[in-house]
């Protein structure tokens, strides 16, 4: 077997093949194609296998990064998968959507020289390699403890809790409001960034371990948390941040003004781009403006483009402050999304039929840093820009859905509508009820939701083990 440690530092980060922009503009297939085996091995061999791996310290779930990379370098992919899955049950998903440049890769010792290891791409490579082998190995399961746990919501936080607890021998049932499991991974993040087949595969894996999946069940409506507590020993709430914000500016209820959730759900969950084969309609707009600068805004703008629109992002700060992942900003730029920086919408203008036809914006400049440390955008007096549009997508954020808080007496809800929990354990103010993910933190990331799920699962397991 080849020596995994080359003599000389190789700072040449291996590129991952992508669909060319002029092709992918017109399809919903995945943009990034993944490393071929040889490239993955080459990239893995660049890792210098640090004794004190700084990359691991920055990983929210502490994956043994040098460990799995070494396996790839030695072409022991099975070994790599098992190291990876030790800490991360959804590697094919994290390898695609985690903000690695802000986490592990940012901490890689080679970052100073501009040659940080492509940890995310390698993670994705292993997960995809495993999937390509066909059968997923089912781990040996412990005997049943007879304890029952209900998990609310089918997003990444919940999937992690369910996986961890079933592997500890507890019975787990997930209740999901929509007709498909996966949370934002299914209804929000588009196919071209995260193929739905991957999410479905992970969900089916949990099912094969014995997790019971109940879709079309709204906790707080179909049954309350208190009802569920009568049947289950513990409950985890991972209901996410689903309630869209609007800007409360004139014209916001005109036809053609969408929330990002509506726009993306029609496309992803309901497969509206295949209308009329799928029965949920979407509009093929000519000019779309997306408001916001995060991953959600990028996803909307790139979706609009794929539906044939001229697509524009309107963001009130500058490119530097865009909260979206760099890779996705670059993808959007390559594909032809137009960016209007330092621009703040102040009014939507409608036509005689109640459809939005233009959007009026205030031009901004960057002033002093604000509480978040970012320079605050301030209006430039009299500088108004108007864009003609036939649709606007509002992607400025979401807050937790109030449904569970409103129907669960004694559950402490924070100022932002979030469920308040003990940070270390995820324990809520209600006995036998834990919570984690976006419903606790507000809109965050997949890996943080999974991290919260893992912590809660540990605490729930401790509690269940203490029961007679």
Partner 1 sequence: MFRILSSRMIVPNIHLLTIEAPAVARQANPGQFVIIRAEEEGERVPLSISDWDRQMGTITLLVMNIGSTTGRLAALRERATIPTVVGPLGNATEIENYGTVLCLAGCYGIGSMFPIARALKEKGNRVITILEARSAYLLYWEERLKAVSDKVVHITRDGTRGFRGHVGRLPEIIKGFDEPIDRIYANGCTFMMMRSSQASRPLGIKTMVSLNPIMIDGTGMCGVCRVRVGGATRFACVHGPDFDGHEVDWEELLQRRKTYLPEEVVPLQTSGCDQHAHIVKETVDG
Interface characters, 199-238, with partner 1 (x: CB under 8 A): ----------------xxxx--xxx---------------
Of residues 74 through 133, those in contact with ligand FAD by CB under 6 A are 97-99
Shortest reach from residue 2's CB to partner 1, in Å = 49
Interface characters, 36-65, with ligand SF4 (x: CB under 6 A): -----------xxxx--xxx---------x
Segment near ligand FAD (CB under 6 A), from 106-114, 183-191, 377-385, 455-463?
A: 183-191
The reply to whether 248 sits near partner 1 by the rule CB under 8 A is yes
The reply to whether 299 sits near ligand FAD by the rule CB under 6 A is yes
Of residues 101 through 160, those in contact with ligand SF4 by CB under 6 A are 108-110, 117, 119
Q: Distance (Å, rounded) from C-alpha 303 to C-alpha 26?
A: 10
Which residues, 6 or more positions from 445, have their beta carbon under 8 angstroms from its beta carbon?
A: 97, 98, 99
Closest to ligand FAD by CB, 158 or 168: 158
Shortest reach from residue 17's CB to ligand FAD, in Å = 20
Q: From the list ligand FAD, partner 1, ligand SF4, none, pick the one residue 265 interacts with, judged by a Cβ distance below 5 to 8 Å according to partner type.
A: partner 1
Q: Radius of gyration of the chain from Cα atoms?
A: 23
Q: Find the DSSP H helices in 310-441.
A: 326-335, 403-407, 438-441
Q: Distance (Å, rounded) from C-alpha 48 to C-alpha 109?
A: 9
The reply to whether 177 sits near ligand FAD by the rule CB under 6 A is yes
Q: From the list partner 1, ligand FAD, ligand SF4, none, pick the one residue 255 interacts with, judged by a Cβ distance below 5 to 8 Å according to partner type.
A: partner 1
Options 19, 103, 158, 418; binder of ligand FAD; rule CB under 6 A = 158
Q: Distance (Å, rounded) from C-alpha 152 to C-alpha 438?
A: 13
Q: From the list ligand FAD, ligand SF4, partner 1, none, pick the one residue 438 interacts with, judged by a Cβ distance below 5 to 8 Å according to partner type.
A: ligand FAD
Number of residues that bind partner 1 (CB under 8 A): 41
The reply to whether 277 sits near partner 1 by the rule CB under 8 A is yes
Closest to ligand FAD by CB, 44 or 460: 460
The reply to whether 281 sits near partner 1 by the rule CB under 8 A is yes
On the 0-12 / 13-18 / 19+ scale of CB atoms within 10 A, 429 is: middle
Of residues 376 through 415, those in contact with partner 1 by CB under 8 A are 401-403
Which residues, 6 or more positions from 284, have their beta carbon under 8 angstroms from its beta carbon?
A: 307, 308, 309
Q: Distance (Å, rounded) from C-alpha 455 to C-alpha 425?
A: 6
Residue burial 25-41, b: 16+ Cβ < 10 Å; e: rest: beebebbbebbeeebbb
Closest to partner 1 by CB, 280 or 425: 280
Shortest reach from residue 178's CB to ligand SF4, in Å = 37
The reply to whether 5 sits near ligand SF4 by the rule CB under 6 A is no
The reply to whether 270 sits near partner 1 by the rule CB under 8 A is yes
Q: From the list ligand FAD, partner 1, ligand SF4, none, pick the one residue 433 interacts with, judged by a Cβ distance below 5 to 8 Å according to partner type.
A: none
Q: Distance (Å, rounded) from C-alpha 184 to C-alpha 238?
A: 12
Return the closest-CA partner of residue 342 out of 309, 378, 307. Answer: 378
Q: Which H or E run includes 363?
A: strand 356-369
Give the position of tokens 């799928």: 278
Contact 159, 176 (CB under 8 A): no
Q: Distance (Å, rounded) from C-alpha 295 to C-alpha 27?
A: 19
Which residues, 6 or more positions from 193, have their beta carbon under 8 angstroms from its beta carbon?
A: 30, 31, 96, 97, 299, 328
Q: Which H or E run includes 278?
A: none
The reply to whether 189 sits near ligand FAD by the rule CB under 6 A is yes
Segment near partner 1 (CB under 8 A), from 83-91, 196-204, 263-271, 358-366?
A: 263-271
Shortest reach from residue 105's CB to ligand SF4, in Å = 8
Q: Distance (Å, rounded) from C-alpha 200 to C-alpha 32?
A: 19
Q: Positive or negative, the Cα torsion across 110, 112, 114, 116?
A: positive
Q: What are phi and psi of 430, to 5 degrees?
A: -95, 140
Options 246, 326, 367, 423; binder of partner 1; rule CB under 8 A = 246
Q: From the list partner 1, ligand SF4, ligand FAD, none, pick the one residue 156 interacts with, judged by a Cβ distance below 5 to 8 Å according to partner type.
A: ligand FAD
Shortest reach from residue 84's CB to ligand FAD, in Å = 17
What is the 8-class DSSP label of residue 402? T
Angle between helix axes 446-466 and 156-167 (nearest 10 degrees) is: 30
Closest to ligand SF4 by CB, 25 or 54: 54
Options 168, 265, 268, 331; binder of partner 1; rule CB under 8 A = 265
Interface residues with ligand FAD (CB under 6 A) are 97-99, 152-158, 175-178, 183-184, 188-189, 218-220, 238-240, 242, 264, 295-296, 299, 325, 401, 403-404, 437-439, 443-447, 449
Interface residues with ligand SF4 (CB under 6 A) are 47-50, 53-55, 65-66, 69, 108-110, 117, 119
């Amino acid at each position: 077997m080849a020596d995994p440690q080359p003599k000389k530092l190789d700072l040449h980060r291996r590129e991952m093949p992508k669909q060319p922009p002029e092709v992918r503009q017109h399809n919903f297939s995945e943009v990034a194609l993944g490393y071929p085996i040889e490239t993955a091995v080459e990239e893995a061999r660049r890792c210098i296998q640090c004794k004190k791996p700084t990359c691991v310290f920055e990983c929210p779930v502490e994956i043994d990064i040098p460990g799995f990379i070494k396996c790839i370098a030695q072409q022991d992919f099975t070994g790599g998968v098992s190291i990876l899955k030790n800490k991360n049950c959804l590697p094919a998903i994290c390898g695609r959507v985690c903000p690695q440049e802000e986490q592990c890769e940012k901490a890689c010792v080679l970052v100073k020289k501009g040659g940080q290891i492509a940890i995310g791409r390698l993670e994705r490579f292993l997960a995809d390699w495993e999937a390509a082998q066909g059968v997923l190995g089912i781990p040996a399961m412990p005997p049943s403890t007879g304890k029952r746990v209900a998990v609310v919501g089918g997003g990444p936080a919940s999937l992690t809790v369910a996986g961890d607890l079933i592997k500890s021998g507890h019975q787990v049932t997930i209740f999901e409001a929509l007709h498909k499991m996966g949370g934002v991974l299914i209804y929000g993040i588009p196919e071209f960034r995260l193929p739905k087949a991957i999410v479905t595969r992970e969900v089916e894996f949990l099912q094969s371990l014995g997790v019971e999946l109940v879709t079309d069940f709204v906790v707080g409506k179909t049954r309350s948390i208190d009802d569920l507590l009568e049947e289950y020993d513990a409950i985890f709430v991972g209901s996410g941040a689903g309630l869209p914000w609007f800007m409360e500016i004139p014209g916001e209820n005109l036809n053609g003004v969408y929330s990002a959730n509506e726009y993306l759900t029609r496309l992803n969950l309901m497969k509206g781009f295949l209308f009329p084969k799928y029965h949920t309609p979407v509009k093929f707009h000519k000019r779309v403006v997306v408001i916001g600068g995060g991953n959600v805004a990028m996803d909307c703008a790139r979706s609009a483009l794929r539906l044939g629109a001229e697509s524009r992002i309107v963001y009130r700060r500058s490119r530097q402050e865009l909260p979206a992942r760099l890779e996705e900003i670059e993808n959007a730029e390559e594909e032809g999304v137009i960016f209007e920086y330092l621009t703040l919408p102040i009014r939507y203008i409608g036509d005689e039929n109640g459809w939005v036809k233009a959007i009026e914006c205030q031009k901004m400049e960057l002033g002093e840093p604000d509480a978040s440390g970012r320079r605050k955008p301030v209006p430039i007096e009299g500088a108004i820009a108007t864009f003609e549009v036939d649709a606007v997508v509002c992607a400025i954020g979401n807050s937790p859905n109030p449904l569970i808080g409103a129907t669960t007496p004694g559950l402490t809800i924070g100022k932002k509508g979030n469920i308040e929990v003990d940070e270390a354990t995820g324990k809520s103010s209600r006995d036998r009820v834990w919570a984690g993910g976006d419903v606790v933190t507000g809109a965050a990331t997949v890996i943080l939701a999974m991290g919260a799920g893992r912590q809660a699962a540990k605490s729930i397991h401790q509690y269940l083990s203490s029961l007679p």
